[in-house]
Structure 1
Amino acid sequence: MPTPTKGPRLGGGPAHERLMLANLASSLFEHKRITTTVTKAKRLKPYAERLVTFAKRGDLASRRRVLGLISNKGIVHELFTDIAQAVENREGGYTRITKIGNRKGDNAPMAVIELVLEPVSAKQAVVAEATQAAAKAAPAAEEAPAEEAPAAEEAAATEEAPAAEEAATEEAAEVSADAEEAAEAPAAEEKDAK
């Protein structure tokens, strides 16, 4: 016996349920947002996101697979060109469900399900831009040190020379100070002895 799908049943039978989900997804891709019941929106969310994932792949097999579920070629074309391009940097979460209250006639809880077509958060966009800049700078950085290596060695040598001279001068000053102290110490002892 096959495992039943998760979530509440929609429609009279499985075929009716598949057709309802395909029609809801088709309307969602066409209008970018639809108003429906909360139950239908929750069942539509994983279905629609899976179709968007196929559209992001963009190959012929994915297009044929989506065409097997949604028969309108115009909507499938829009899904694969416009929607897939709008969400290419997004890892998931292509839809958003917002509850809007109950329906007036039968008091059914209603929701708006919409495609999230805004760009990814500013922080992630900055990180992506920084990684691209680093990737571009890496080849330039590899070429530059090869040319600057002799110049860098010369600069380091010229910087080390004054530092070595200063160190030698300080050591000489310390040695002369120690020699003076050593010379003064016996003279002081001779005075104390007298």
Structure 2
Amino acid sequence: MPKPTKGARLGGGPAHERLLLANMAGQLFTYKSIKTTETKAKRLRPVAERLVTFAKRGDLHSRRRVMSILRNKETTHILMSEVAPLLELREGGYTRITKLGFRKGDNASMVQIELVLEPVTPKAKKSSSKKAAAPATTEALIEEPAEELTASDETIIEATTEAPEAEAQGTTEADAEAAFEDAPADEAAEAPADGDKK
């Protein structure tokens, strides 16, 4: 059980508080939602989430630990067989507290605490999406029509596609670099010719 806060306990002594929270947790697992005061709900949340974590493990030792806290076979069975499978993919945050307003008699802040049973959508990993996006951009450059490519793009593509072939034929990287350096000179010669046509 989490460390209790300083000051008066709920309902009296620490033993009474443990029993009170265990009964409230049992009711929460049985009915999936209960209405109570805000103070009790905030104290119940860590106890209930810890019990759900035990139930998700599902082994005999966890069942016995849950049973020692709840002290009710039916509630333990509901938690282990019905609630735990619904929360299996959720990594935390098994409960939700919603404010309802104030109680008429003593103006206590009332809330509804409930189990979050909505299905979880697994998040995609960021690293795999970046790796997948990088090859798509280079393929898109190669597959674009030649009309939209500039002369410098064409020379880069030619140099990168011809470099592996040149290595296979026995030429060195220095020859490939020399061919790449000659390309901008050809591009400068072609630029005025394009301007004359316009």
Q: Give the TM interval when normalised to the shorter protein.
A: 0.5 to 0.7
Greater per-residue helix proportion: 1
Provide the aligned length of Structure 1 versus Structure 2. Answer: 138
Q: Name structure 2 gaps, 5 residues minimum.
A: 129-163, 170-178, 180-198
Q: Distance in 2 between matches of 1:5 and 1:87?
A: 27
1:75 shift after superposition: 1.2
Q: Does 1:5 align with 2:4?
A: yes
AA aligned opposite 1:6: T
Task: Please give the per-residue CA displacement for 1:136-159, whole angstroms capped at 9, x wherever unaligned.
Answer: xxxxxxxxxxxxxxxxxxxxxxx9
* Deviation beyond 4 Å, 4+ runs, structure 1: none
Residue aligned with 1:127, SS: coil
CA distance in 1, matches of 2:85, 2:112: 23
Identity %: 62
Q: How does 1:21-170 map to 2 (within 5 A)?
A: 21-120=21-120, 122=121, 125=122, 127=124
Deviation of 1:6 after TM superposition, in Å, equals 2.3
What SS is found at the alignment partner of 2:100?
A: strand
In the alignment, the residues of structure 2 paired with residue 12 and residue 5 of structure 1 have an alpha-carbon distance, to the nearest angstrom, of 13
* C-alpha separation in 2, matches of 1:15 and 1:106: 26
Larger radius of gyration: 1
Where 2:124 maps in the other structure, the secondary structure is helix
- Structure 1 CA distance for aligned equivalents of residues 59 and 3 of structure 2: 30
State the partner residue of 2:174: none
Q: Which runs of 5+ in 1 are unaligned?
A: 132-158, 165-170, 172-194
Distance 2:116 2:55 in 1: 15
2:12 aligned partner, one-letter code: G
Offset, 1:126: 5.7
- Using the alignment, how far apart are the partners of 1:4 and 1:93 within structure 2? 19
Report the CA distance between 1:127 and its aligned residue: 2.7
> 1:63-118 deviations in whole A, cap 9, x for unaligned?
10111111221111111111111111111100000111000111110000000011
Please report the RMSD computed on the Cα atoms of aligned residues, expressed in angstroms. Answer: 3.2
